[in-house]
Amino acid sequence: MTQERVRVVIVGGGTAGWMAGAALARLLSGQCTVRLIESEAIGVVGVGEATLPHIRAFNERLGIPEAEFMARTRATFKLGIEFRDWGRIGDSYIHPFGTFGRGSGAIDFHHYWTRLAREGHELPPLDALSYACTLAREARFDHPVRDAGTLPSTFGYAYQFDALLFAPYLRGLAEEAGAMRTEGMVIDVERDGETGLVRAVVLADGERVEGDLFIDCSGFRSLLLGQTLEEPFEDWSKWLPTDRAVAMPCRTETAVTPYTSAIAMPAGWRWRIPLQHRTGNGYVYASDFIADADAARALEEAVEGEKLAEPRLLRFKAGRRRRSWVGNCVAIGLASGFLEPLESTSIYLAQQAITALIELFPDKRASASDRDEFNRIIDLEYDRIRDFLILHYHATTRDDSPFWNYVRTMEIPDSLGEKLDLWRRRARVVKYREGVFLDASWIAVYLGQGIVPEGWDPRADVAGTPELLRAVGDLRSEIASEVATRPDHRGFLERYCPMVDAA
């Protein structure tokens, strides 16, 4: 069966655009032609420097060798996210890409933990009872092992990398696989008078680029989906009020930590993402609560080393387009919606959209069935991440600024209210099989932000207290001695994937 190839036109060439371009060119080369239009005159947002473990599956599917990719993007390993000052000032916890306890047994570890805590026992910090957290705190790294049931198998990992280097790396792969790049600025979009489908985009130099499927990777502008097709935007800013970020890289003065830090600030939070050659910083804030200049100053005062660039301002709004796929236009990345980078979900969302698009890749004429399924998948992703992000702000005792007073007392979505209720009452995590943040993530944030449940699984009462306390002590020392044999993160990077010098 021979098929006419689908002409794919990608508008915008940042991380999302080149991820889409590389994936389509690699995996569907016989089915489509890929043309990507980008303009050097338009800046790349490129703050998505921290990722989730899912990116490994994406890279693997594209045949990207890890060490080469890390060297080229000056990447470091990421075992989780450290949250500082969230539940209250002075707190610090890690949301690991891994489990607490041994990750086995009929009853989840956190039920025992809750019981012992409620019984008033002195317990080690939760981080000490997670292999991933301990490895992170000790700034060590080694790949997980496959042996189920062993501690070094209880975690996954992601990367922290230079997003401005990732896109060119992917571009190389995409072009190698046959994608064509066109330098140019889209100034007009042509639509079919009858169907409303996008027929072509017109560039500043007058060239007209026709296509069957248009992928909008134009970032916040949402050139096709938002501006042209006028798909409405669902605004979530009443729950996620931050709407600006100021970003500024600096020299790394302290450790190259194998984790990202998210440090709560009076009107938002600050990220710290250590790469091999520098540390990325930024202050995500709500402009209703702090002036831009004050936010920039606060960031400059907080960063650890010499600044490597002037502070750069970004504006955004939390929420998403009602549908990401309309007609023959699919928005991927910021063009489809935005959730603040608190849990490093930006690249993840782009990746999920690309994966869904590949699984639902249309004919020359896109079918409603493919479109609807794509939108169903994307909605589910956004909605679940939304609740998880809101939890971070809401689960706090902070009352030291108007911003924290607002988020602490705001009304939350019912879906999150029920999750919190089940946790508070019975240490129960609402179960999903599909979705980005599963049990361990919710547990990490709940406990890390000080919500110790009032009840727990009654089956956790069967074991005697001394026996349990002994098991906790054993676990802690086993983790500590296991972690002590692992290499230092920086040393590991230097041997495994030393960065390639600037061209």
Partner 1 sequence: MTGAGPIRDVLVVGGGLTAWCAAAALKRRAPFLDVTLLATPLAPDALADRIACTLPSLPGFQADLGIGVDDGVTRTGAGYRLGTRFVGWAEGLPDYVHAYGPYGHAIGPAAFHLHWVRAAHDGVARPFDSYSPAARIAREGRFVPPAPGSIFGAHDFGLTLDLTRHMAMIRAFALHIGVREMAGTVAEVRVDARGHIAALTTEQDRTLSADLFLDASGPAATLRSAIDDDRQDWSEWLPCDRVLLGTRVSGEGAPVLTDVTAHAAGWCWSSGEQVGLAYASQHLSDADAAAMLSRDGTAVDAPIAIRAGTRPQPWRGNCIAIGDAATQVEPLEWCNLHLALSAIDRLIAMLPDRAMAPVEAADFNRQTLAEAERVRDFLAAHYRTARRPEPMWQAVARAEPPASLAHTLSQFAERGRLPFYEEETFARDGWAAMLLGQGFLPRRVDPLVHGFPPHEVQAVMTRLSDAIAAALPQIPAHAEWRTGQMRRLAR
Residues designated catalytic: 78
Binding mask 106-135 toward partner 1 (x if CB under 8 A, else -) reads: x-----------------------------
Q: Give me the least distance between CB of 312 and partner 1, in Å please.
A: 38
Decide whether 400 or 421 has the Cβ nearer to partner 1: 421
Strands 32-38, 76-78: pairing is unpaired
The stretch among 27-35, 68-76, 146-154, 185-193 that binds partner 1 (CB under 8 A) is 27-35
Answer yes or no whether residue 29 interacts with partner 1 by CB under 8 A: yes
Answer yes or no whether residue 3 interacts with partner 1 by CB under 8 A: yes
Q: Give me the least distance between CB of 451 and partner 1, in Å please.
A: 12
Q: Scanning residues 424 to 443, which ones bind partner 1 (CB under 8 A)?
A: 424-426, 428, 430-434
Q: Which residue has the tokens 């889209």?
A: 186
CA distances 323 to 211, 226, 239, 327, 376, Å, are 21, 10, 20, 10, 9
Q: What are 152's two structure tokens?
A: 């070094």
Q: What are 12's two structure tokens?
A: 């915008």
Answer yes or no whether residue 461 interacts with partner 1 by CB under 8 A: yes
Decide whether 385 or 479 has the Cβ nearer to partner 1: 385
Q: Give me the least distance between CB of 369 and partner 1, in Å please.
A: 4
Q: Scanning residues 61 to 90, which ones bind partner 1 (CB under 8 A)?
A: 61
In this structure, are residues 196 and 113 in contact, taking their beta carbons and an 8 Å threshold?
Answer: no
Q: Give me the least distance between CB of 361 and partner 1, in Å please.
A: 5
Q: What share of the chain is helix, strand, coil (3-state, %, to 5)?
A: 40, 20, 40
> Phi/psi of residue 246, each to 5°?
-120, 130
Binding mask 344-383 toward partner 1 (x if CB under 8 A, else -) reads: --------------xxxx-x---x-xx-xx--x-------
Answer yes or no whether residue 451 interacts with partner 1 by CB under 8 A: no
Answer yes or no whether residue 27 interacts with partner 1 by CB under 8 A: yes
Q: What are 2's two structure tokens?
A: 């021979």
Strands 76-78, 158-160: pairing is antiparallel
Of 413, 395, 48, 400, give the one whose Cα is nearest residue 217.
Answer: 48
Residue 351 β-bridge partners: none
In this structure, are residues 50 and 340 in contact, taking their beta carbons and an 8 Å threshold?
Answer: no
In this structure, are residues 212 and 6 in contact, taking their beta carbons and an 8 Å threshold?
Answer: yes
Q: What are 32's two structure tokens?
A: 């489509």
Answer yes or no whether residue 31 interacts with partner 1 by CB under 8 A: yes
In single-letter form, the type of residue at position 211 comes to G
Q: Give me the least distance between CB of 360 and partner 1, in Å please.
A: 7
> Would you tell me which residues interact with partner 1 (CB under 8 A)?
1, 3, 27-32, 61, 106, 358-361, 363, 367, 369-370, 372-373, 376, 418, 421-422, 424-426, 428, 430-434, 454-455, 457-459, 461-462
